[in-house]
Amino acid sequence: MSSRLCTCSTYCSIVDPGTGIRRPGALVPPLTYQNHQRDQALNEATQSLHRQTYGQAPSNTSIPGPSLLQNLMNEVKFRVKFMILPSVLFFCNPPTRNETKIFEYQSVDPIPNPNDGFFALSHAESSNSTVLTHESHCIEILRTLSNTAASEDREQLEDLIKEELYAIWQFKEREWNRQQTVIADGADSDHAGISHNTGKRFCFSKVLNG
């Protein structure tokens, strides 16, 4: 089947990190094109929800209104419902034969920057986009919650978001350890990510099904 030109702003029409120039798009297989269009629609839906959330939540909110928390929960549900995890992750600093590194988790207190530190994923690889976007949204929600007064609803949502972040980092850790093992066994770094599927599901599925 012939490739199709995809101009989605999620994967294809993005800013090249090397030149700073936005790419016009990319030729992708038909199935990839459909997946990109689905993700683009999902991003637009969650961005709309996010605008509603911030529009309804003035700074230094004394009591977190139900509409704010509901919008935040809906934003996460949108993403988790349609999320397809990648089979391979690409690190900015991939494992090497010369040095064995133990994966280090970020801390949630204070609220971290998304995808920060030595074990960061490359933004140039489209297969990382699902994890990077999900992590960024979770941290953004934590920052929103930090500007609302304490309540039981806020605490529950905050705990679930932190669980989700730990699941993301665990997913990264498992892939890091797998690639490090493959490298140690003699494969080169360009082929360390081939034929891998963790089957990991993020824990927010419990919110959808529970």
Query: Hey, how many other C-beta atoms are within 10 angstroms of the C-beta on 31?
Result: 10
List, in sequence order, every residue forming a beta bridge with 15; answer none if it has no partner: 22
Tens digits of pLDDT across the chain (210 residues): 578 888 888 778 777 666 778 878 888 888 778 777 777 776 665 565 555 555 544 444 444 455 667 777 777 777 777 777 888 999 999 999 888 899 999 999 899 999 999 999 998 888 898 899 889 989 988 998 888 778 888 888 888 899 889 999 999 999 999 999 998 877 655 545 433 333 333 443 343 333
∠ CA 57-140-40, nearest 5°, is 100
Q: What's the pTM?
A: 0.63
The closest alpha carbon to 117, from 132, 105, 129, belongs to 105
| Domains of the chain by residue range | 4-209
